[in-house]
Each structure stands twice: as structure tokens, then as C-alpha cells.
Structure 1
Amino acid sequence: MPKSLEKTRKKIAKKKGNITALHENSRDSQRLRRAQMRDDKLVKVASLRRKNDQPLIERAAYFQEAIRENDGQPLEMETIRALIQTFVHQHDEEFSKLKKERRAGRPASTREDLLRMKIAADEKEHENGFYLPDLTEADNVVLLNKWEGAWSYLSTLKWVRISSNGQVQQAKFPPKGES
């Protein structure tokens, strides 16, 4: 949590004593406003970063669950490809349900549009190379099994891209606009 405002308020209080009233455009009130805007900006940037990181965290959690179901053992390529296929098509059921519920001639709902875009993006990524932790290496599987949901821990894992035809490429974490 940003502490700029607290520090600024403390410095002004040290200089002036107890702050009960400041002139609207005094230097001290301007310092407080700048500190508040800086804190607000930092909170906004942090929430945006968390929002952007969330899909990769969910993806890692999905494959971690698959590893745990396999008793922490590395997976075969066919199993991994089946897991990727289920991950890519996880929203199909909800999408078709929303599509059926919509009356004829009505525009698609926002949720339906979002699901359509997400499904299309996942399918395109699956064609070009699906980004996931390497589940064929025993060391990487152990690290993924120990993962507790922290973003910073994901950089210790080895990541790969597996295309729909089975081609495997090493990848770096985090993906820099490649997904």
C-alpha cells in the first residue's frame, strides 16, 4: 500500500504541529494533494497489473491441479495436449447456454461477447503455441506442485509453448505480448 501521503502528512505535522486547518492553496496543502494523487496512481497501476497477471495465475493453477491429480508425477505429451484442449474449451458450455437463452433478433450480451473473444483468443493461442509450465520435467513439476499462488514464484518455473501440432518451444516468463 502506498505510504506517500502518510509520510507527507507526518512531515507537515512535525513542522507545524497538529494540522487542523490549512489554507486551500498553501504549499503544504499542495504537497498533500500531490502525495494523494501519487498514492492513487500507484493503487491504480497495481490493480491494473494484478488484473493483467490474473489469467496466467489461473492457468498455472489449472495445470497445478492436473499435476496434483497425477500424484505429482510428470505428464505425457498426449495428456498435456488433452489438458490444453479442455482448458481452451472450458467456457464453451457457458457460451452456448448464453446463446440459447438470448431471444432471436436480440444483440449478444456483454458476457457473451467477452466469452466469444476469450474462446477465440485461446484457440488462436493454441494454434500458434499454448503457453504453460513445462509439465514433462520432474523438477519443474515439483516446483509447480509447491506453488502457493504467488506471482513472483512463477518465474522460477520453466515455461514452454506447445502448438496444436505438438511442437514444443522453450519460452520465457512472463510472456512479453506473445500470448
Structure 2
Amino acid sequence: MSKALSKVTKAVKDKREHKGDFVHPGSRDHKRLNRAAIREQRLRQTQAKRKNARDGEFNRLYFFQDAVKERQLPVFTELEIHELIASFIHRDDDERERLRKERRLGRPPTAKENLLKLRLEKEEGEYRTGFHIPDLSDAENAQRFTTWDGTHGSLPLIKFTRIEKKE
């Protein structure tokens, strides 16, 4: 329960203590409680959306951070960056293929298969217009990125760039 809802609940409870626990459905107190509950639900939904977006962004960053840590040379050439982006975009191809093979003939794709396909299309579209990644062509920035602690607050220390797909 959020702080605002708990405050409203406490206020109504304290007010109703001498009258009993019943809150009439048409009363002002009931409407207050209802508004507070709806407000809390909206806040939770917004927080969940932000968290999901942030999780996707962090998964991308962790993938690239692991790739940088695996190499001895921290600097990537332009061709290597494009190969790295392509490997990130197609990371779920094996699973998509496995799900397609498991599906019986004539059956529609599963929900998971649809989600993987939509994510692939979204990331390929982003790659055509400019894929947002840390600047791995700069040695100092690549070093900073390898030591990144995984928090949102330390991201401004890292330079980012947009890489467009070469046709």
C-alpha cells in the first residue's frame, strides 16, 4: 500500500472509529478511498512500464559490456561494432527456430514466438534508423563502460552513439 493510500485509509479509519468500521458506498470517505486506490494503481502501472523499459535497456548494455570484457583490445572497429549489433539483434534466433519446429503444422505461432518476432522487428527497425549503444570506438569510453557498475545513475559518465545499418 502506498503512503498516500495508507494515509487516507488511516484518516478514514480514525474518523470511523466511534461509528464502527462500515463505510457507506455513496459516502465521501468511500469516494476518497476509491480515488486513492485508483491513484495507487496508476502509479504502480507507470512504475512497471518504466521498469520494463529500463530492463530492456540494461539487458542491451550488459550484452555489450560482456562483449567488451571478453576482448583484449577495448577498441572496436566499425565492422566489429556492426557484427556485435547483428549478434545482439539475432540472439534469440535459435529459440525462435526451436519454437517454430515444435509447433504442429497449421497451428498459429505461440505468444512467446510472437513476442520474439516483434522484438526482432523492433530492434531491426531501430538498427536501420540508428542503434543506440555506448561508443566502443573510443578507448577511454570503452574502459569506462567495462567498469560500469550497472546502475542508472552512472550512465551519464558513458558516451553513447547511434550506429546506422549499412545497406
TM-score range for the pair, normalised by the shorter chain length: 0.7 to 0.9
CA contact (8 A) 1:4 1:36 kept: no
1:4 aligns with 2:11: no
Which residue is 2:118 aligned to?
117
- The offset of 1:132, in angstroms, is 0.9
1:29 aligns with 2:51: no
Which residue is 1:158 aligned to?
159
Distance 1:48 1:20 in 2: 39
Distance 1:114 1:37 in 2: 29
Distance 2:73 2:11 in 1: 54
Q: Which aligned pairs between 1:28-177 and structure 2 lie closer than 5 A?
A: 28-70=29-71, 73-165=74-166
Q: Secondary structure at the match of 1:136?
A: coil
Q: Secondary structure at the match of 2:154?
A: helix
AA in 2 matched with 1:21: D
Gap change, CA 1:103 and 1:10, over 3 Å in 2: closer
Total equivalences in the alignment: 166
CA contact (8 A) 2:13 2:21 kept: no
Deviates further, 10-19 or 134-143? 10-19
AA in 2 matched with 1:158: K
CA contact (8 A) 1:72 1:141 kept: no
Distance 1:86 1:114 in 2: 18
Question: Cα deviation per residue 1:122-154 (whole Å; 9 max; x = unaligned)?
Answer: 223223322211112234323322333333433
AA in 2 matched with 1:23: V
AA in 1 matched with 2:166: N
- The offset of 1:21, in angstroms, is 0.9
- The offset of 1:95, in angstroms, is 1.2
Distance 2:157 2:84 in 1: 22
CA contact (8 A) 1:72 1:145 kept: no
**TM-score using structure 2 length:** 0.81
Distance 1:103 1:49 in 2: 37
Runs of 5+ unmatched residues, structure 2:
none
**TM-score using structure 1 length:** 0.76
CA contact (8 A) 2:141 2:158 kept: yes
Runs of 5+ unmatched residues, structure 1:
167-179
Deviates further, 29-38 or 7-16? 7-16
